[in-house]
Amino acid sequence: MFRLTDQQQAEFHNDGFVVVDGLIDDDTIHRLRDAFERIFSGRFETGVRPDEVNWQVGESDPAKTRQICNGWKADLTIAGTSLRADIGEACAVLGDWPGARLQVDNSLWKPPGAGSIGMHQDCTYLPWLNPREMISCWIALDDTTADGGTMQLVRGSHRWKPSEELGEFHGPADHQALMRTAAVREGVDDPEIVPVVVKKGGGSFHHGWTWHGSAPNESRLHRRALVVHCISSDACFVPENIAVGTGPIYGRYRYQDSNRMDESFFPVLWSGNGERTRWLDAYA
């Protein structure tokens, strides 16, 4: 079980992120790597296709970072990590929420030579959500290096004015361009960019308004990561904004007569009153 220390919580609130060790063990890492091989080859163990399949073997540009969203619905090994109660608890504590609900997970694979991910703020993609808040847990499946396309976080940028500009996500020529424009608006001449350099199994938690992205992988090593994006257990849909950001994808799970978020699609990982979506442990 992972538990944030008081010092780590303080770092998160000050910087907009915190780098941690020991999120998953070696056995889990090996099983997740095998799961990545399956889903990026189109083999979905449960028979359910993930919500966003942005890369497949033999079909997609090998120069692009491989990405699949909500792999937990397709592969039970991925579900075993994405649905963990302790990750949900850490996100709820950092967000000051009564509980944490899984909004989406990301399986990311950046082979040697693969391109960048444009810097962005996660919450820019969430105008269809109330409260418009997210805490994310990024878990490295490989040792990371500064030149290996690891995630980069901009210290203190969670306090900048929120941006509504989505920009180019996959393979922009300058992956920092949108962030630097935002920095100028904030009067920040030299934003501090921090690469997440950790041993496999480590990672980070970051705030939904923290600017982040990644450079091309200029190393000879693969860079794989699983990201668990959590929202408040009290979150609900904002129907008039469904057409914006990722709303057209995840808005399909909204009831016509209600704005509530159903636990079949957005399960509650942890809550302060001890409640957790009842089917999670049996499923994962």
Residue ranges making up the domain that contains 244: 6-254
Mean pLDDT of the chain: 96
Residue 123 lies in a domain: yes
Residue 225 CA to residue 65 CA, distance in Å, equals 11
Q: What is the tens place of the pLDDT at every residue in 177-206?
A: 999 999 999 999 999 999 999 999 999 999
Q: What is the tens place of the pLDDT at every residue in 110-162?
A: 999 999 999 999 999 999 999 999 999 999 999 999 999 999 999 999 999 99
Cis peptide before 216 (omega within 30 of 0): no
Which residue carries 């257990």 as its tokens? Answer: 233
Residue 51 lies in a domain: yes
Task: Answer whether residue 165 shows pLDDT above 90.
Answer: no
Residues above pLDDT 90, as percent of the chain: 93
What is the reported pLDDT for 164? 87
Residue 17 lies in a domain: yes
Do 41 and 57 meet the contact criterion of CB atoms below 8 Å apart? Answer: yes
Question: 170 falls in which pLDDT band (50, 70, 90)?
Answer: confident
Q: What is the tens place of the pLDDT at every residue in 206-255?
A: 999 999 999 999 999 999 999 999 999 999 999 999 999 999 999 999 99
Task: Answer whether residue 167 shows pLDDT above 80.
Answer: no
Residue 201 CA to residue 275 CA, distance in Å, equals 27
Task: Answer whether residue 12 shows pLDDT above 80.
Answer: yes
Q: Alpha-carbon dihedral of residues 30, 33, 34, 38, nearest 10 degrees?
A: 170
Q: What is the DSSP string of 62-75?
A: TTSPEEEE-GGGT-
Task: Answer whether residue 169 shows pLDDT above 90.
Answer: no
Which CATH number do you get for residue 27?
Answer: 2.60.120.620
Q: How many domains does the chain have?
A: 1
pTM: 0.96
Closest Cα to residue 110, out of 19, 203, 221? Answer: 221
Residue 187 lies in a domain: yes
Residue 278 lies in a domain: no
